């Protein structure tokens, strides 16, 4: 039996592992695309580090430091194993997915760019995987090529293939859109890029938790994600770099912790991944991420994704039945993210009204302004479900929206 199967199909039992729901019993938390809640097991592990293990890593010869160093490096192995990376040293720890993308842009790709080259991104990218490439292209006189989407919200794969050519320096594509919920076929896209000998970066911020990723099989060049969307803490990110690029990585920050030797004449740095971990890292956060992964591995993720898909389909139908409510996008393959607009009401007003009913949703542009500009929406309301959401949450959302519509429109 898969460990944790006993609680599958019962989000209420899963919810009991997350103390925030005991603190706020009326809370319907539907903003998981922004950040997920943390289970007690993760909170306990982080607190335990602060209370019993706190020390800086690597440079101390005393027991606490040695133990912290061991736990930090064990976390690297845990992350590598979770994503089935070919080697533990493919994983570097950063401040988040945003910093991870910037590192790839400025510490790897920038070094190989020449005027006339191009960078390929998609229209559905989060600003974190759009703006760094836009800034880099402007700074280096290279072209930013943006892949359009179809009317349903799918990536235009034919156009993507045509935009990749011999002068493409990198393709940067999101796995799951944080606004439309579109699930992109990253294996196909990776093969498409590699067929033209172009490296590819995958933004897995929305997929890393529940959609198993086998990096050895996928063979992408770079992958990024954030701990706080994986039931882990803020301030910790993952950067995966394929071994074929390890020697090309340059330090992103300079300081202690990445040094092999410093002389007046010059400095020699440690190899990747350590050369990206300057200063004192977020040791407690990295250990917390490893603990979050241990929580995730208790569950049968395939079954959980199927449950969430069914719940999301029900939610989409209940929302679509509300007069004046427009769903944004209807991708062929979608995750548990739904964006919508309600006629006659600004999304911020909708979110504020829902908040009065203890329902937490996101309103705005979701860091995807180019996408919403293209779709003609100034802003939307976004609902994003996770493993602790259930049908009662969906019903409360729909009922509250109907009540709001009857009251204000």
Q: Which CATH number belongs to the domain containing residue 114 in this structure?
A: 3.40.640.10
**SS3 for 273?**
coil
Strand partners, 334: 182
Please tell me whether residues 74 and 211 are part of one structural domain.
yes
Quote the CA–CA distance of 229 and 206 in Å, as a whole number.
Answer: 7
In angstroms, the CA 34 to CA 400 distance is: 22
Sign, CA torsion 33/35/37/41 = positive
Q: For every residue of 44-110, which 3-state class applies, written as one string? A: HHHHHHHHHHCCCCCCCCCHHHHHHHHHHHHHHHHHHHHCCCCCHHHEEEECCHHHHHHHHHHHHHH
> Could you count the other beta carbons within 10 Å of the beta carbon of residue 19?
15
* Of the residues 249, 280, 296, the one at which a domain ends: 296
* Residues 317 and 338 both lie in one domain: yes
Question: Is 39 part of any domain?
Answer: no
Tell me, yes or no, whether 288 and 219 share the same domain. Answer: yes
CA 409 – CA 38 distance, rounded (Å): 37
CB-CB contact of 309 with 301 (8 Å): no
Whole-angstrom distance, CA of residue 62 vs CA of residue 55:
9
Note the pLDDT of residue 405: 85
d(CA 241, CA 92): 8
Domain final position from 263, 296, 329: 296
Output the pLDDT for position 409.
Answer: 59
β-pairing, 337-342 vs 325-327, is antiparallel
Answer yes or no: do 350 and 238 share one domain.
Answer: no
Say if residue 99 is exposed, middle or buried (CB neighbours under 10 Å; 0-12, 13-18, 19+): buried
**Predicted pLDDT at 10:** 78
Domain total for the chain? 2
- Say whether both 20 and 69 belong to one domain: no
Residues annotated as catalytic are 367
Supply the CATH number for residue 351's domain: 3.90.1150.10
Q: How many CB atoms lie within 10 A of CB 217?
A: 9
Residue 380 lies in a domain: yes
Q: Do 261 and 318 lie in a common domain?
A: no
16 and 55 inside one domain: no
Shared domain check, 85 and 68: yes
Shared domain for 308 and 292, answered yes or no, is no
Q: Which two tokens stand for residue 339?
A: 């964006």
Radius of gyration of the chain (CA): 22
80 plus 106 within the same structural domain: yes
Residue 4: the pLDDT is 41
Does residue 265 share a domain with residue 326?
no
* pLDDT by position in tens, the chain (length 409): 344 444 455 788 899 999 999 999 999 999 999 999 999 999 999 999 999 999 999 877 899 999 999 999 999 999 999 999 999 999 999 999 999 999 999 999 999 999 999 999 999 999 999 999 999 999 999 999 999 999 999 999 999 999 999 999 999 999 999 999 999 999 999 999 999 999 999 999 999 999 999 999 999 999 999 999 999 999 999 999 999 999 999 999 999 999 999 999 999 999 999 999 999 999 999 999 999 999 999 999 999 999 999 999 999 999 999 999 999 999 999 999 999 999 999 999 999 999 999 999 999 999 999 999 999 999 999 999 999 999 999 999 999 999 998 877 5
Q: Taking a C-beta distance cutoff of 8 angstroms, is the pair 90, 240 a contact?
A: yes
Is 95 part of any domain? yes
In the three-class reduction of DSSP (H, G, I as helix; E, B as strand; rest coil), residue 225 is classed as: strand
Q: Which domain holds residue 277?
A: 44-296
pLDDT of res. 406: 82
Final residue before a domain boundary, out of 272, 296, 320:
296
């Amino acid at each position: 039996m898969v460990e944790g199967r006993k609680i599958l199909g019962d989000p209420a039992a899963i919810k009991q592992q997350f103390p925030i729901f005991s603190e706020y019993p009326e809370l319907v938390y539907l903003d998981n695309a922004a950040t997920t809640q943390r289970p007690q097991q993760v909170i306990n592990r982080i607190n335990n580090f602060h209370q019993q293990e706190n020390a800086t890593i690597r440079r101390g010869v005393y027991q606490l430091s040695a133990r912290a160093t061991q736990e930090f490096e064990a976390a690297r192995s845990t992350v590598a194993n979770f994503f089935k990376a070919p080697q533990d040293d493919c994983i570097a720890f950063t401040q988040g997915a945003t910093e991870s993308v910037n590192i790839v842009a400025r510490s790897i790709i920038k070094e190989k760019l020449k005027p006339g080259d191009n960078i390929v991104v998609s229209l559905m990218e989060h600003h974190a995987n759009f703006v760094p490439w836009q800034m880099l292209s402007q700074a280096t006189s290279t072209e930013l090529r943006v892949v359009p989407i179809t009317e349903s919200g799918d990536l235009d794969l034919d156009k993507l293939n045509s935009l990749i050519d011999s002068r493409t320096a990198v393709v940067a594509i999101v796995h799951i859109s944080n606004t439309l919920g579109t699930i992109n076929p990253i294996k196909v896209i990776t093969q498409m890029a590699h067929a033209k000998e172009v490296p590819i970066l995958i933004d897995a911020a929305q997929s890393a938790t529940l959609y198993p990723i086998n990096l050895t099989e996928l063979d992408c060049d770079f992958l990024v994600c954030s701990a706080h969307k994986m039931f882990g803490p803020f301030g910790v990110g993952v950067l995966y770099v394929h071994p074929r690029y390890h020697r090309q990585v340059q330090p992103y920050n300079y300081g202690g912790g990445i040094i092999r030797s410093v002389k007046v004449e010059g400095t020699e740095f440690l190899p990747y991944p350590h050369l990206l971990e300057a200063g004192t890292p977020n040791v407690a956060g990295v250990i917390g991420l490893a603990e979050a992964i241990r929580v995730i591995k208790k569950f049968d993720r395939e079954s959980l994704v199927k449950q969430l898909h069914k719940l999301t389909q029900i939610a989409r139908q209940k929302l679509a039945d509300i007069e004046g409510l427009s769903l944004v996008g209807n991708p062929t393959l979608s995750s548990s993210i739904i964006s919508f607009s309600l006629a006659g009401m600004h999304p911020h007003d909708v979110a504020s009204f829902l908040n009065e009913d203890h329902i937490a949703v996101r309103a705005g542009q979701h860091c995807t302004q180019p996408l919403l500009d293209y779709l003609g929406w100034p802003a939307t309301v976004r609902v994003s479900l996770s493993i602790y959401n259930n049908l009662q949450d969906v019903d409360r959302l729909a009922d509250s929206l109907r009540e709001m519509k009857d009251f204000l429109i």
